[in-house]
Amino acid sequence: MLRAFSHTNGRCVFHHAKRWRHRKSVLAIRREDVNAWERRAPLAPKHVKELTQMGYKVLVQPSNRRAFREKDYVKAGGIIQEDISEASLIIGVKRPPEDKLIPKKSYAFFSHTIKAQEANMPLLDEILRQEIRLFDYEKMVDQKGMRVVAFGKWAGVAGMINILHGLGLRLLALGHHTPFVHIGMAHNYRNSSQAVQAVRDAGYEIALGLMPQSIGPLTFVFTGTGNVSKGAQEVFSALPCEFVEPHELKEVSESGDLRRVYGTVLSRHHHLVRKRDGLYDPVDYDKHPELYTSRFNTDIAPYTTCLINGIYWEQQTPRLLSRQDVQRLLVPVRSSVGGTEGCPQLPHKLIAICDISADTGGSIEFMKECTTIDSPFYMYDADQHITHDSVEGSGILMCSIDNLPAQLPIEATEYFGDMLFPYIEEMLLSEGSEPLESQRFSPVVRDAVIASNGSLTAKYEYIQKLRESREQDKSLKMGNKKRVLLLGSGYVSGPVLEYLTRDSDIDITVASVMKEQLEQLMKKYSNVTAVHMDVIKQEEKLSSLVKKHNLVISLLPYSAHPLIAKKCIANKVNLVTASYLTPAMKELQESVEAAGITVVSEMGLDPGLDHMLAMECIDKAKEVGATVVSYTSFCGGLPAPEHSDNPLRYKFSWSPQGVLLNTVQSATYLKNGEIVNIPAGGALLDSVTPMDFFPGLNLEGFPNRDSTKYAEPYGIQTAHTLLRGTLRYKGYSKTMGGFVKLGLINPDPYPLLSSATPPLTWKELMCKLVGIKSPAEHHILKEAVFSKLEKDKSQLEAVEWLGLLGAEPVPAADSIVGALAKHMEMKLPFGAGERDMIVMRNEIGLRHPSGHLEDKFIDLVVYGDNKGYSAMAKTVGYPTAIAAKMVLDGEITAKGMVIPLTKNVYGPILERVRAEGIMYTTRSVIKQ
């Protein structure tokens, strides 16, 4: 069929004979589904039109997200079709999910596997297993090794637009309004022409002299001379700019014209020198880059306002900037331009870095995490080696988006397609199931085949060696490192990981069923390995994981802990959890002791910090001979007051079923020497008491579980009052009481809500609960519900506010309370920018040997961060992480079941949570 091919200007021209006599090749353009911002395609409609005119069939998977509309592809001759199994070649921009690969096909996309990138090795394994032929655009290079298929220019264009926008925001945060503040993010413009016009408008204002004088001349440094750098320079040229040589940068940065900006393009010879003699030899550098160092930190960076980095970095090559370099660069400098309080100087010359290479830990050593189009910037504080999501505060503004061309998807697609199109036909005519040796590929295409017929091709066999070497290195390092297995990746995992990863000698594996959360964690933490699994259902895999670690931290629901504890016992591995030490866990006490391991429980907030604050006070009292006569403790996780804007005055950051069930459980407490028992079923809500210790918060409280069981472990058998309770905003209990009256807090199985039965609406379910025939008129149902609520208007309003009388489907669940929990999770989440709050009050009554009485009041109030961790995550996560570190470091050595009731445990934890910003206050009132 294929007779020959020849090369014209480096591109392939095929000569065919009777192509359609035997078969008709089919191309498929797959839907991009890895990132919400990915609106590009590998080919534009104009390329599809050329292919269909050549007689090829082109399938296009439907996608409303793609920048080019389906009708444009149809007009070009493409066929919109979900099933692409007919295609011999399937092309995309980014990697497909492993579960959507089709065996024995040819695929082309950016695989990000050529450095044996750990995150993409499961994909490569699946490609090999399914005997897929993989063409990687990144390895399509010419005879000089230059890439011939790339988005590079558009990464540079988008990156430059973004950093000008970011520079405007950062300078504004530093006290300066500049023309850059009117430039938006690249994706806010329909095309690059609109964006460049916005840059040109800002340049016009700069040329008029509207830049604040106190900030001095602005200098931009572009690294590299490839398409990325050229694209960025193209946008920069829309400003009134002057390009200077690197050695001239110092002069213009100090005395340049404020009506223009200055740029310099940095090549290797400008900053790379051989360590032994200070010279640069390009041939020698290519052979031995490890013998060279960069002078960028001393010769260029001190005079740079904004660095636009577009160079490719490899392991042996010198870095541009390290953390230590930036610490020196961020030392405040005095400018020749005077400043005042309202017109300040810049704190330091280097203000922003746009790392278009997005190579984490690469040429910009401290760039450990790529940013996203949603959150494009963060500040890097070199002194503390921390980042924070803001344009304010100290440090350097960082922008390192790894899919920049997606911001200008139409132009990027056409540009990329123009480069790819000359090679499509030869890839299309190859059969993935046929031996690679039988394919007559041009060098550009042949050298881009990573895998074929179930094996890595000869050129890429090194990938397996890299993997083996990395595993070997890991094993060697593991000999000195402590290995932690974290089960669960929910909201509490953030502080746990943040705390433990401060120690470079700790390697962490996170196992979770939540794939997206795992991917985010992998991007954020370099010494974290992710394992996607269902811990409960995959017991053998869990055992295998536990065996490889020194410590397990479980953030899973308490019901999972007995299973996990048994795996830890079998493998003699220590365990830390934040949950209650339940009866099921206590049954394992002897087995834990026999295994010689430590199982730490109740290390969160409640239980956890409540124990520690109580015991600190109780132990100090006993040291002076005092006895405890009363102990009450109330704690609640709440929305901050300004966000308590619903009938429950409550919001959920996790599954609310446990919260709902707490309202119908039994409770036992001691009051003035008498045991008070509250039966299950809702009577708890009749025991609500106003809590006026923070009058502005308008709180109420109710007993929680069995408080009397703490008399012995706390050592306060002398107390005549012993009560632990839950805090809520006033009105919560009354609203919940209405749900109890209606039978909504019912944990019993309710088959009608099974996913196997026809769905019910809330209106239909409420008709059943109040005993009227469905369907019923709205006013009839409302009246029946009102009657069931004993004519309580506020309870009826809450039912209506939640939509429980409407036509919305009831979520499938095992029980009515399970369905209500799912419904509330959707109706009452924390919105963007909303904070939660933790409130805890311990009151301890003491009798001193002299006979006088003293009341101790211990208050803990913690707010969540708008763009950081919630208060609940901090107060549960940090104590858990600290306890885990204490076990790893041998500070907690006791074997068996441990809860934080002894000074050697609670003392260090309370001291260390204060260092994390979790502060509490103590005051006393002496009575005669």
Enzyme catalytic residues:
606
DSSP annotation of 755: T
User: What is the CB neighbour count within 10 angstroms for residue 677?
Assistant: 11
Q: Tell me the pairing of strands 689-691 and 598-600.
A: unpaired
Tokens coding 740: 């109890």
Q: Angle at Cα 736 formed by Cα 733 and Cα 738, nearest 5°?
A: 115
Using left for φ > 0, alpha for ψ between -120 and 50, and beta otherwise, residue 224 falls in left
From the list 493, 517, 449, the residue with the least C-alpha distance to 114 is 449
- Work out the angle at residue 96's Cα, subtended by the Cα atoms of residues 90 and 98, and round it to the nearest 5 degrees: 115
Q: How far apart are CA 394 and CA 403, in angstroms?
A: 27
> Cβ-count burial of 758 within 10 angstroms (0-12 exposed, 13-18 middle, 19+ buried)?
exposed
Residues 6+ apart with CB under 8 A from 32: 38, 39, 40, 41, 63, 65, 66, 92, 93, 94
CA dist 118 and 116 (Å) reads 6
Helix H or strand E encompassing 857 = strand 853-863
Residues 96-101: contacts with CB under 8 Å, at least 24 apart: 96/30, 96/33, 96/34, 97/33, 97/34, 98/122, 98/123, 98/126, 100/30, 100/33, 101/126, 101/127, 101/130, 101/132
**8 Å CB contact between 469 and 118:** no
**CA pair distance 244, 583, nearest whole angstrom:** 74
CB atoms within 10 A of CB 310: 26
DSSP state of 95: P
Please report, to the nearest 10 degrees, the dihedral formed by the alpha carbons of residues 299, 300, 302, 304 taken in order.
Answer: 170
3-state DSSP percent of the chain in helix, strand and coil, to 5: 40, 20, 40
CA 908 to chain centre: 30
Tokens for 893? 């050595």
- Residue 836's alpha-carbon distances to 114, 377, 831, 916, in angstroms, are 44, 24, 10, 17
d(CA 761, CA 815): 15
DSSP state of 430: S
Count CB-CB contacts under 10 A for residue 52: 17
Q: Is the dihedral of CA 372, 136, 509, 97 positive or negative?
A: positive
Kind plus residue range of the DSSP H or E element containing 856: strand 853-863
Q: Return d(Cα 427, Cα 135) in angstroms, integer.
A: 8
Q: Is the peptide bond before 302 cis (omega within 30 degrees of 0)?
A: no
Coil, strand or helix: which one is 231? Answer: helix
**Which among 704, 607, 723 is positioned nearest to 665, based on CA atoms?**
704
Question: Which two tokens mark 354?
Answer: 């746009």
Q: What is the largest CA-CA distance in the chain?
A: 110
Q: Determine the angle formed by the axes of helices 227-236 and 152-173, rounding to 10 degrees.
A: 50
